[in-house]
Chains A and B, each alone.
Chain A
Amino acid sequence: MMQGKEKLFGRPTSRIDGVAKVTGAARYASDEPVAHPAYGYFVTSSIARGSISAFKLERAKAVRGVLDILTYENVGNETQPPKGPDGGPTTTTLESNRIWHDGQIIAVVVAETYEAAREAANKVDVTYAEEQPSASFDSPGAESQPHKPQRGPDPKKGDAANAFAAAAVKFEAKYATPTQHHNPIELFTATCAWDGPKLTIYEPSQFMWGTKNSVAAQIKIDPDHVRAISRYIGGAFGCKGPNPRTAWVAIAAKRVGRPVKLVPTRDQSFTIATYRAETRQHIKLGASADGKLTSLSHEGWEVTSRPSGYSVAGVESTARMYACPNIATAVNVVHADRNTPGYMRAPPETPYMFALESAMDELAYELKMDPIELRRVNDTQMDPVTGLPFSSRSLMQCFDQAAAKFGWANRDARPASMRDGEWLVGFGCATACYPSNMGPAAVRLSLTPDGKADVGLAGHEIGTGAYTLVAIAAARSLGIKVDDVTVRMGDSDLPPVMIAGGSNNAASAANVVVKACEELRRRIARAAVTSADSPFHGTEADNLSLSDGKLVDPTGKSEPLSKAATRTGHRLEVYAENIPEGLPGTAVADMSKGKPTMLGGAGRKDVSAFAFGAHFVEVRVHSRTREIRVPRVVSAFAAGTIVNPKAAYSQFMGGAIWGLSSALFEDTEMDLGSARYINDNLADYLIPVNADVPSVEIIMVSEKDERVNPLGIKGIGEIGIVGMNAAVANAVFHATGKRVRELPIRAEKLL
């Protein structure tokens, strides 16, 4: 009998790993002690396109302590080229002398110390055959082509072009979002150690089984011989998946016959990993005079590398936000001499919802309508593209609760009408959304004789509170204390779970853990009803549940768990797998081969599954010098069952702050002539400091979702960032009367 989910979740719980993290006891990948390591250091290209004509390594090799230098000349044929984030081709590194992008890894120096490796790396002399690179959209030589949709054709319905032509009110505009980088504080480290044929990799990975399989495939060894370990991850945000770097560290370790530890620099991290590509977007909205949408067209252009067709294609989400009978979408990729982009917190929605939610605000002004009311008249409980019901959708509850708390009623709708001394004041709002995904998962759960639980799964603690979430799910299901659950994660020797992406972890992990706990309860209960020494002998096993450290029946009769459990043996162990309905039966097997599958959003056949939210922002723009400051934010989200409100609050708040950052600060700037990044460090790549976010209030709107998954959990890791950039831009317009359609919004755009 599955216990009521209300009983399972919803109590604010402090992180079980919090003390370890703040005291430094938590061991991150590069903290793992390995015996007698050598140290690696990357050499990266200083051109964006061309080839290497020659290496001169004499000066580098003369540095004391240098053990080896890997280049395409000595190791180029030792790996299979890596796969891009879409599974397709991507840029290479040491495989050949080809340079695809600025800062490409072209050599690995291995030395006795980090300092020697770094000094030698700086003394590697490279001669290039340089070619003129294309940096971005407008660069000569950049090639645009329609993207290849990953899941069927881009959303389309009715006849958007004709409906637009016939619309009573029309609005049309172009928007742009910049290149952005994740910049997790923990860098992209990798430590590789061989023991005979077996390889252990310590690396921050948000997909343990993916890292294991991809490195094995790249260096052509049996994946069973590879173990990936990453017990804690200092921020991932999408950039810490399988990658082309680690294989070279493994090869280096084999060549020098000892473990190799490699910690790249911050500026290298801008080019050796993925990023959020810049986009351009074109939106057309047609509406009736009372604000009902009659036509929505959304087309996007995204930059990618030369070989990769990777796109985020956020029209998959924007097409489903509002009721509209005529929808047309398209996405194009623009190939330039850049590294391949990849997932970054809400990869599709962050850029694409900026355009849609800015356009909705602009349309509201055209219609002389309150922007909340425009969302209300176009709200729907049915996916406008497929006609399927949303598993649940509480968008307007989010708007109404956040608006009340924010004081939206105090807004004077006229642009540039509100003022506080020398500061112009603006209010803005926007919709947030994110698909509710779930993936396959496996777990091993044991109950020890002292009545405590041990849960093992190859999950990923990327800072979201994953250990605690698993502990809560197990503790509540088994009727024991959170402190009595030991959670082991971050090791590919544990049962596989999905990549920590698409906000799937809470739903995937909680559902499989609860399933394992139920199996465990069933075994204890069955042993009890068939044992003469049990108070439940001869009763119905399904009537027994676990609560408060006891096995109990509905009459209140009970037996201590420690007694009930030992009846089945010294230690009771359950292995469970869970595959969400709609995914193939091979999903766990595929995942264990490094192939992730996930179901959610508009990919389901029964419902359309999304979480929704609303952001409200107050901005202040100085009337003379035009600095933009954001004194307060109120955001509301409805995301089904909240497992741990304490962690959830932080997730939502962190997301909203990052959204603010994506509106006002973040922009990886380029030297367009050379296609090289300019501000590749944390001093010049701006993110908000505390003084930039004085007040962020989060409302968790209660929502019961019976259809999204058995526990009603929608992921919350990414929704917080979505739409925030538009809310800020909308508030800036309200404050100044100036519409900025190209992020980030900075003082010079308002002069």
Chain B
Amino acid sequence: MRPFVFERAADLPQAVKLGAATGQGETDAPTQFLAGGTTLIDLMKLEVLRPQRVVDLGPVRASWTGIDFTPSGMRLGAFAKMSTVADDARVLSQFPVIAQSLQLAASAQIRNMATLGGNVLQRTRCPYYRDPSWSACNKRVPGSGCAAIKGFNRNHAVLGVDDTCISQYPGDFAIALIALDAQVELTGPEGSRRIPFASLHAPVQSQPHIETTLKPGELIVAFQIPAGAWTRRSLYLKVRDRASYEFAIASAAVALALDGETVREARIGLGGMAYQPWRSQDAERMLVGRPLTESGAAAAAAAALKGAMSHGNNDYKPELARRTIVRALLEAKALQVTGGAS
């Protein structure tokens, strides 16, 4: 860690102003916002992030922690703690996949600190990124290469990667958000705007050091998650090496609207598998209008992993992902859903 300027924003407008140098989505921008700190502080200690200025959003938090329900869906304040949303009975019954994705993430201690907005911006767990003693990491040092491609890559991405970076997006909540067509509310120097969650994270496109599409000074203030016939019949399945406090080696966020045996709507998010939060609309399309069977689920899963590219230690991932999707779909089908739509 090295010396830096620490500033506390009194309110949202001041935060946006102080954060004007947060950069154009660069992972190591010279100004960083501090919310829960569960990623930022770690990476600063590791000398991966070396901000000259840290803008503490503490005083801003209180106004953006709401969990609000409307007929069209749910709005979550970006500064709500992961644990608060995970434990909310309404979220659990109406949007189980959201609550479960948060409940199964990290540890109780981290969930009590981390905010939703910070969580979706969590950096990759790639060990070559997280340790500056490795010289080759395009995400950390643009143009330096990728040590993971020929290195140890057991939990590296197989989807959405290119030859500059195979790091994996590690989060869970984002997988549920992308599956449910969530929208992100942003506030920045040029005012407020709303974007699809699916466009928040930048694709790799040979510039892995650019991680988001956020403009300088922009802050996530809320998430909007539309309700649909599929949201109650939803779940988050997380496959991991140990039972708790561990990142996914594969996960699936699925939501189904069923008409008897027949799938009316399907949503499939895929975690532990891709460079960025991943949704498989190809797989969804294959399910719709047909009865949900083991073989149908398997075909959809195969479509979801089409184009997967592995690099040795992660050769197992596509097969594990296919099995995870099938299991998640069949478990979602078997859910007893009460009240409202199927």
What is the interface of chain A, defined by CB distance below 8 A to chain B? 46, 115, 118-119, 122, 267, 422, 622, 624-627, 629, 664-665, 669-674, 676, 678-680, 683-684, 686, 688-692, 746-748, 751
Contacts and interface: CB of A to CB of B under 8 A. Distances in A.
Given A625-B250, A625-B327, A688 B242 contact: yes
B326 A691 contact: no
A118 B1 contact: yes
A119 B1 contact: yes
Interface stretch (B65-73, B89-97, B148-156, B219-227): B148-156
Contact of A678 (B3, B127, B244): B127
Interface residues of B, number: 33
B243 A629 contact: yes
Contact of B241 (A670, A673, A676, A686): A686
Interface in B260-308: none
Contact of A746 (B133, B241, B245): B241
B239 interface: yes
A267 B131 contact: yes
A747 B47 CA distance: 33
A738 to B, nearest CB: 14
B245 A748 contact: no
A622 B241 CA distance: 12
Contact of A751 (B47, B125, B241, B319): B319
Contacts of B326: 624
Q: Which of A115, A629, A678, A751 has the most CB of B within 10 A?
A: A678
Interface of A is mostly: loop
B320 interface: yes
Given A624-B327, A678-B127, A747 B239 contact: yes
B316 interface: yes
Interface string B227-251: 0000000000101111111100110
A314 to B, nearest CB: 26
30 contacts: A46-B133, A46-B134, A115-B1, A119-B1, A122-B2, A122-B47, A267-B131, A625-B324, A627-B239, A627-B240, A627-B241, A664-B241, A669-B154, A670-B152, A672-B151, A673-B150, A678-B127, A680-B131, A684-B127, A686-B241, A686-B242, A686-B246, A689-B242, A689-B243, A690-B244, A691-B244, A692-B242, A692-B243, A747-B241, A747-B316
A747 B245 contact: no
Nearest to B316: A748
A743 to B, nearest CB: 13
Do most interface residues of chain B lie in helix, strand or loop, or is the interface mixed? loop
Interface of B: 1-3, 47, 125, 127, 131, 133-135, 147, 150-152, 154, 237, 239-246, 249-250, 316, 319-320, 323-324, 326-327
Contacts of A422: 327
A46 to B, nearest CB: 4
Given A627-B239, A684-B127, A692-B243, A747 B1 contact: no
B152 A669 contact: yes
A684 B243 contact: no
Nearest to A669: B152
Given A679-B127, A689-B245, A625 B239 contact: yes
B2 A751 contact: no
B84 to A, nearest CB: 22
A274 to B, nearest CB: 21
A111 to B, nearest CB: 14
B166 to A, nearest CB: 14
A691 B240 CA distance: 13
A678 B243 CA distance: 22
B147 A671 contact: yes
Given A625-B323, A671-B147, A683-B125, 20 more contacts: A119-B3, A422-B327, A624-B323, A624-B326, A625-B237, A625-B239, A625-B250, A626-B320, A627-B240, A664-B241, A671-B152, A673-B150, A676-B134, A678-B152, A686-B242, A686-B246, A692-B242, A692-B244, A746-B241, A748-B320
Contacts of A680: 131
Contacts of A688: 242
Nearest to A683: B125
Contacts of B250: 625
Contacts of B133: 46
Contacts of A664: 241-242
Contacts of A665: 241-242
Contacts of A622: 327
A667 to B, nearest CB: 10
A751 B323 contact: yes
Contacts of A629: 243
B320 A751 contact: yes
Contact of A625 (B243, B244, B320): B320
A671 B311 CA distance: 13
Q: Which of B1, B152, B250 has the most CB of A within 10 A?
A: B152
Nearest to B47: A122
Contact of B2 (A119, A671, A689): A119
B90 to A, nearest CB: 26
A676 B3 CA distance: 29
A689 B106 CA distance: 12
Contacts of B245: 689
Nearest to A123: B2
A212 to B, nearest CB: 34
Contacts of B239: 625, 627, 747
A494 to B, nearest CB: 39
A674 B127 CA distance: 14
Contacts of B241: 627, 664-665, 686, 746-747
B170 to A, nearest CB: 11
B249 A747 contact: yes
Contacts of B320: 625-626, 747-748, 751
Contacts of B1: 115, 118-119
B150 A684 contact: no
A115 B45 CA distance: 11
A268 to B, nearest CB: 11
Nearest to A422: B327
Contact of B316 (A670, A679, A683, A751): A751
A669 B154 CA distance: 10
Nearest to A670: B152
Determine which residue in A626, A669, A673, A748 has the highest number of CB atoms from chain B within 10 A of its CB, and name it: A748
A751 B315 CA distance: 11
Nearest to B250: A625
A176 to B, nearest CB: 16
B151 A673 contact: yes
A680 B245 CA distance: 17
Contacts of B242: 664-665, 686, 688-689, 691-692
A678 B152 CA distance: 7
A266 B218 CA distance: 35
B330 to A, nearest CB: 9
Question: What 7 pairs between A and B have smallest CB-CB spacing?
Answer: A748-B316, A691-B243, A46-B133, A691-B244, A624-B327, A671-B151, A678-B152
A683 B241 CA distance: 12
Contacts of B324: 624-625
Nearest to B2: A119
A747 B127 CA distance: 21
A624 B150 CA distance: 29
A77 to B, nearest CB: 28
